Structure 1
Amino acid sequence: MNDAPALPAAVVWTRAIAVASLLALIVLGMMWELWLAPTGNRTLVLKVLPLAVPLAGLLKNRMYTYRWVSLLVWVYFTEGVVRATSDSGSSAVLASIEVVLCVALFAACATHVRWRLRSAKEAAQ
């Protein structure tokens, strides 16, 4: 039996948003470098590998993973901002989408941690 208390719906939603935005970043990065706006060097697709590492932790709902993903995402945010302002055409659009996904991932992770800690504190009282 699992004695852990059920998580509030808001916490479950933040988890879903975090997982969805992480998956979207992985797919966007792969499609961007392979098909949508390749730079000629397809090895840039390897940039999405670090994003695949935390996927298992998010799916297993590990608090530590949410914390460090909220830091890792800023590397991709920075890349998106730089490419959105320096590239043109479809690459700039894809970079803007990357920025939006990074903000969504960060917000979901930060909110998840905050609400989950609050929920645990309330359950302990």
Structure 2
Amino acid sequence: MIKNLRLGASASLIALIFLCVAWEGWLAPLRPTGSNLILKALPLLIPLFGILKGKRYTYQWASMFILFYFTEGAVRSYADKGLSAHLAMLEVLLTVIFFTCAIYYAKFTRPST
């Protein structure tokens, strides 16, 4: 179970990084030449190695950190049109998967008292 939670969190975080780069790079950027919003993928690299290594503390704080991306996806899925709205819904889905895996991983790896 813990292995599956680590896999789910890792896969969804990596997929979210690739989604952010592809979305703002060439799939549906705000400007035809690309967007500086591609830089929103950089903060996702901060928790990546802690998540991949299974560090409980990283799972704890990253579960709150990911909510910024959930909020962006929810707003843009409502406000944007076409492909950008669909990509925003995918962003919401990936953040929900990550959040769920992260909080349960933190719960199940809690030291017994």
TM range (shorter): over 0.9
How many pairs does the alignment contain? Answer: 111
Please name the residue that 1:16 is paired with: 7
Cα deviation for residue 116 of structure 1 reads 1.3
Aligned to 1:6: none
Equivalent residue for 1:33, pick from 24, 30, 46: 24
**C-alpha displacement of 1:60:** 1.5
TM-score between the two structures when normalised by the length of structure 1: 0.86
Give the match for residue 4 of structure 1: none
Report the AA paired with residue 97 of structure 1: L
Separation of aligned partners in 2, 1:73 and 1:13: 19
Deviations 1:15-48 (A, max 9, x none): 0000000000000000000011011152110001
Q: Name the amino acid aligned to 2:103.
A: A
Unaligned runs of 5+ in 1: 1-9
TM-score scaled by structure 2? Answer: 0.94
Q: How does 1:62-101 map to 2 (within 5 A)?
A: 62-101=55-94
Structure 2 residues not aligned, in runs of 5+: none
Amino acid at match of 1:105: F
1:108: Cα distance to partner? 0.3
Distance 1:112 1:43 in 2: 33
- Alignment partners' CA distance in 1, 2:48 and 2:80: 29
- Deviation of 1:64 after TM superposition, in Å, equals 0.7
Which has the larger Rg?
1
* Identity across the alignment (%): 44
Aligned to 1:55: 48
User: Is 1:104 matched with 2:97?
Assistant: yes
Compute the RMSD of aligned alpha carbons. 1.1
Query: C-alpha distance in 2, partners of 1:42/1:79?
Result: 15
Q: Once superposed, which parts of structure 1, at least 4 consecutive aligned residues long, lie more than 4 Å away?
A: none
Match of 1:46 among 39, 50, 53: 39
Aligned amino acid, residue 6 of structure 2 = R
Letter in 1 for 2:73: G
